[in-house]
Structure 1
Amino acid sequence: MKLKILSERAYQKWPSWHVVYEWEDIIAEKANIPIVNYSNDIGTRIHSFFRRLCKKFYKKWMPEYKFNLSCECYIMFIMNAASYHILPTNNIIPIFLDFPINMIDDITRVTKGLPVFFVTCKDIYNILSSNGVKNVRYMPLSISDKHVQSDVPKKTIDVIQFGRKNNVLHDYMLKYCKERPNVEYIYQTDNGTLTYISTTRGIIGKFDSRDEYFDLIKSSKISLVSTPGFDNSRTADFGNIDFVTPRFYESAASFCHMIGRYTSNDETTDLRLSDVCPNVSSYSEFANLVDAYLSEDYDWHIQREFVNSNLTSLRAEYIINEIEKAVYNNEEAQKS
């Protein structure tokens, strides 16, 4: 079996995709396999258009994944399981990122012909496994090895909440800044332009590149982080599932103290997230942590262990091993 990575990087340019391309790069490097750009030519666009049209007028239509070991096969990150149908489904091993809970039955059915597929949310994995799905594997998200550094960068910003805001943490921090006006807090405005504002300097600019993002977070002493299912910050489509986002890993790799609000579930337990990120439940607890993190030196060895155990290179080894095992078992089953 010839394995490759099928990437949407040729046309998906929104900043949230950049982390996916970093994962693809590391997997390709570690597995010594090529990255192939999924075409965005007129034929592909027409194909996607008709698939969307089919889905719009016949909601039960769900193309099944087909797999042929004699053909080239592709690993592909699927940003949202709900829109998998507009992408190729032949000889694809999908890695599902966002996974609305109402897609459980559909994805179970359409992946039956695959030797293996991956989900990045432990809650989703648990549901699929309890439903008897044998070919699903759980792979938590990760931090690209390229962002790991040995020295603590210079810190010039007190507190940041990058991207999606958790309103409880946001309100806590605004209250803290009223009590301590010299403390700087940076957060994204609500106009959808990726523009950021500082409580001490006003609008500081638009940050829409991966390098700009990391420059900003590396400069921050504290990163406020949250899981998307906590405090009703995600749409109802995702139900009661929750997962650890890249922001946690990126903050840890950038030597940021983390203060969070997140669901305590199997995923956060497995990752030992509480070792590196307190899960605050009151303003007083939050304020005491900010006070401490802004004034004390810190032993980073636990945070380094967290980063080193969640590198994309480790996930790459796991992906390739699981694919090879599943394909081998599939071949043996066909022989018998």
Structure 2
Amino acid sequence: MSEMNLQLIHTSRKYEKRAFWDIVFEWEDVFRQTLGVNFFHGNKYLYKVGNRLPFLNNFTTPSGVFTFEMSPFLGKRFMNHQNVIPCIIDFFLPKANIKLFEKAYRNNPIVCISSKEAVDFLRINDCQLNIKHLPLSIPDIYKINDTTEFKKEYDLVVMGRQNTVLEKYLKLYIERNPNFRYVYRIEQNNQFQYFTSDGELLGNMDSREKYTDLMKKSRCCLYATPGIDGGEIRTSGFNPVTPRFFEILASGCNVIGRYPQNLDTSYFEIDLFCKSIDTYEDFEEELNFKTNNKADMSLHASYLKKHYTSERAKALADLVKEI
């Protein structure tokens, strides 16, 4: 195949309204701006037909398209085309599905995977696709520098799905420290409502702006990779580093962490910011220290320089040159 000319960023923003896609759209905005290309807007109705009849892609998809995919497709796939470079965000496939995965992506010139652990897994298991590592990132709109400062109102804000072990330790800590000021969430009428430990309702945090503004008010945040303490059932044992880790750092929060040693946690140097908590005593000591000491914004800023989305867009451009 001749060298690909990257021309378009595929986006599903016109019809995809689930909240977890919002950060993907922010990544797409940065890729579009950094690479100087345009958007190619997807059509969910066309895709329903196209996944059954992939040959339609020959008539509907222009050349040089980059697209994020939340997870791998198996079976017939509309984007299985030499004009398309996919990047898979969550790769949680077991070994038994590798052949199906190969078939679904066999026509893509390269297949980017966000997890270094997953890339290594595929190579060890002799995956026949042209697999490349394109790590996750934090959008450039959240850039900080060593003088960035946020007004902190809470000792801890509990955001999103929680690790069961850290959650258990936190409950015990709260019982023993009644003056600890924190924010937690409760599901009500299919929405998550956030409350302070004083009983104040903060609302549902239903936008990226509300979500990040609340995080910026916290001195600390809990963070764990998703494939431990029961999560391995959902992730097939993979433990990628998720964007929340970057969001915590960009919000000027100290990290209370739990994670394994693997290729992803090593690549993202998590141990620069937190040790992996294994006992309640370590949790208590870490939380006591970090609620009473400001985050090192110089360290956060210098670290994040390597992980802004514009850096990933440049990395993609280099990968395309290799085709």
Q: Structure 1: give runs of 5+ residues left out of the alignment.
A: 55-62, 327-336
Q: Deviations over 1:89-122 (max 9, x none)?
A: 3322110112222343322233233221100112
Contact 1:144/1:311 (CA < 8 Å) preserved in 2? yes
2:179 aligns to what SS in structure 1? coil
Higher helix share: 1
Paired residues in the alignment total 311
Matching residue's letter, 1:109? K
Of 203, 206, 209, 1:205 maps to: 203
Q: Does 1:273 align with 2:270?
A: yes
2:65 corresponds to = 74
Q: Does 1:136 align with 2:136?
A: no
> What is the deviation of 1:251?
0.5
1:35 corresponds to = 39
> What is the deviation of 1:303?
2.1
Q: Distance in 2 between matches of 1:158 and 1:36?
A: 43
Q: Structure 2: give runs of 5+ residues left out of the alignment.
A: none
TM-score, normalization by structure 2: 0.88
TM-score, normalization by structure 1: 0.85
Contact 1:223/1:257 (CA < 8 Å) preserved in 2? yes
Q: Deviations over 1:47-79 (max 9, x none)?
A: 26x74xx9xxxxxxxx699899x9522111111
Taking a change above 3 Å as real, the CA distance of residues 39 and 64 of structure 1, as seen in their structure-2 partners, is closer
2:156 aligns to what SS in structure 1? strand
Q: CA RMSD in A?
A: 2.6
- When structure 1 is superposed on structure 2, of 279-288 and 78-87 the one drifting more is 78-87
Q: Distance in 1 between matches of 2:28 and 2:104?
A: 24
Contact 2:226/2:235 (CA < 8 Å) preserved in 1? no
Q: Does 1:5 align with 2:9?
A: yes
Matching residue's letter, 1:172? Y
1:211 aligns to what SS in structure 2? helix
Taking a change above 3 Å as real, the CA distance of residues 115 and 259 of structure 1, as seen in their structure-2 partners, is same
1:89 aligns to what SS in structure 2? coil
Q: Distance in 2 between matches of 1:258 and 1:185?
A: 15
Contact 2:102/2:129 (CA < 8 Å) preserved in 1? no
Q: Distance in 1 between matches of 2:304 and 2:55?
A: 37
Contact 1:228/1:242 (CA < 8 Å) preserved in 2? yes
- When structure 1 is superposed on structure 2, of 105-114 and 302-311 the one drifting more is 105-114
1:77 aligns to what SS in structure 2? strand
Report sequence identity in percent: 26
Taking a change above 3 Å as real, the CA distance of residues 116 and 186 of structure 1, as seen in their structure-2 partners, is same
Of 143, 149, 160, 2:144 maps to: 149
Of 97, 118, 121, 2:115 maps to: 121
- When structure 1 is superposed on structure 2, of 213-222 and 276-285 the one drifting more is 276-285
Q: Say which structure, 1 or 2, has more relative contact order (CA 8 Å, 6+ apart).
A: 2
Q: Deviations over 1:2-23 (max 9, x none)?
A: 5201101111111110100111
> What is the deviation of 1:178?
1.4
- When structure 1 is superposed on structure 2, of 221-230 and 296-305 the one drifting more is 296-305
> What is the deviation of 1:130?
1.8
